[in-house]
């Protein structure tokens, strides 16, 4: 056995036993134990970790620990550019897309509303979530910390809050999503792209009063729902504005790739 000293910072303390939070503590480690093994043995999912310093040097998850090592473990840095220091992951994901577990059925449609490809099925077993995340390069969103400890899950986020709108704000802040959001581009139910549809093709698929008051519509080719800028959309737009800090001016994808938003 070897003995190492650990110190976890900021929100990583939420995962620790109460007596170990916000202080340095010594821990016995099996000989040959890696940084990842010990971090997760102490309760912290590896997906929550952004930076590991051993005796002041940045190391990866597979770094073997030695007797007397001092290990500092940090979460995602919100304001500092520490890219040159990072050793824990091979590369960031090029596209922000997600898979949400059964606990986050309210968050998934809100992420789709913001334009983020988000898989959700409350019957997904953990093994399927792990496989889909690896195959499709998705970030796992969950309230189950044990799921994030699975070996092949490289990118994940433990969602702390309970209400869907609070969860949306939490994920936006932690993953810095505001600049990547493209609201009103995906179907909230199907996760499929929305497209414009001519008013004459909406007949029979929307109430007569809606057809009289509105001229522009979009549809989902999977569920065939039709959407327009009604009062519900106004509430959704206010939510998107609050999390993106920008004005989401239209519910519709542009008819041409470079077309400006509709007014």
- What is the percentage of the chain residues whose pLDDT exceeds 90? 71
**pLDDT recorded at residue 91:** 59
Region 234-258: what's the mean pLDDT?
Answer: 69
Judged against a pLDDT cut of 80, whether residue 245 lies above it is answered with yes
Domain that holds residue 232: 190-263
Percent above pLDDT 70 for the chain: 86
Task: Choose the final residue of a domain: 150, 180, 210.
Answer: 180
Last residue of a domain, one of 162, 180, 198: 180
CA distances to 213, 228, 233, 237 from 210, in Å: 5, 8, 13, 19
Please report, for the domain that includes residue 39, its CATH number: 3.10.20.30
50 shares a domain with 115: no
pLDDT single digits (tens) 91-120? 566 688 999 999 999 999 999 999 999 999
Counted domains in the chain:
3
The residue assigned the tokens 């202080």 is 23
Token pair 């090592």 is found at 69
Does residue 185 sit within a domain? no
CB 226 within 8 A of CB 219: yes
User: pLDDT of 27-47, one tens digit each?
Assistant: 999 999 999 999 999 999 999
Sign, CA dihedral 132-137-141-143, equals positive
How confident is the model over 176-218, as pLDDT tens digits? 898 899 999 999 999 999 999 999 898 888 888 899 899 899 9
Q: Which stretch of DSSP H or E encloses residue 36?
A: helix 35-41
Question: Which residue would you say has higher pLDDT here, 255 or 19?
Answer: 19
Claim to verify: residue 6 and residue 77 sit in the same structural domain: yes
Which of 33, 54, 85 represents a domain boundary (last residue)?
A: 85
Average pLDDT, stretch 234-255? 74
């Amino acid at each position: 056995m070897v003995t190492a000293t650990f110190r976890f910072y900021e929100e990583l303390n939420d995962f620790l036993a109460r007596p170990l939070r916000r202080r340095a503590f010594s821990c016995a480690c099996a000989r040959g134990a890696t940084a990842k093994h010990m971090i997760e043995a102490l309760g912290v999912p590896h997906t929550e970790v952004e930076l590991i310093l051993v005796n002041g040097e940045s190391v990866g998850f597979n770094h073997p620990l030695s007797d007397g090592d001092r290990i500092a473990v940090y979460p995602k840095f919100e304001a500092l550019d520490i890219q040159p220091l990072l050793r824990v992951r091979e590369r960031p994901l090029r596209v922000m897309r997600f898979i949400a577990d059964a606990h986050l059925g309210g968050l998934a449609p809100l992420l789709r509303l913001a334009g983020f490809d988000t898989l959700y099925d409350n019957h997904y077993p953990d093994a399927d979530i792990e496989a889909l995340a690896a195959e499709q390069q998705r970030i796992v969103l969950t309230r189950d910390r044990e799921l994030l400890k699975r070996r092949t899950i490289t990118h994940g986020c433990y969602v702390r809050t309970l209400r869907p709108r609070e969860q949306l704000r939490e994920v936006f802040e932690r993953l810095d999503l505001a600049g990547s959001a493209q609201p009103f581009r995906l179907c909230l139910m199907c996760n499929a792209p929305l497209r414009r549809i001519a008013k004459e093709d909406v007949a029979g698929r929307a109430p007569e009063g809606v057809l009289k008051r509105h001229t522009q519509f979009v549809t989902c080719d999977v569920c065939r729902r039709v959407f327009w800028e009604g009062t519900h959309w106004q509430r959704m737009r206010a939510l998107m504005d609050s999390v993106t800090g920008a004005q989401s001016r239209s519910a519709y994808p542009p008819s041409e790739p470079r077309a400006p938003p509709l007014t």
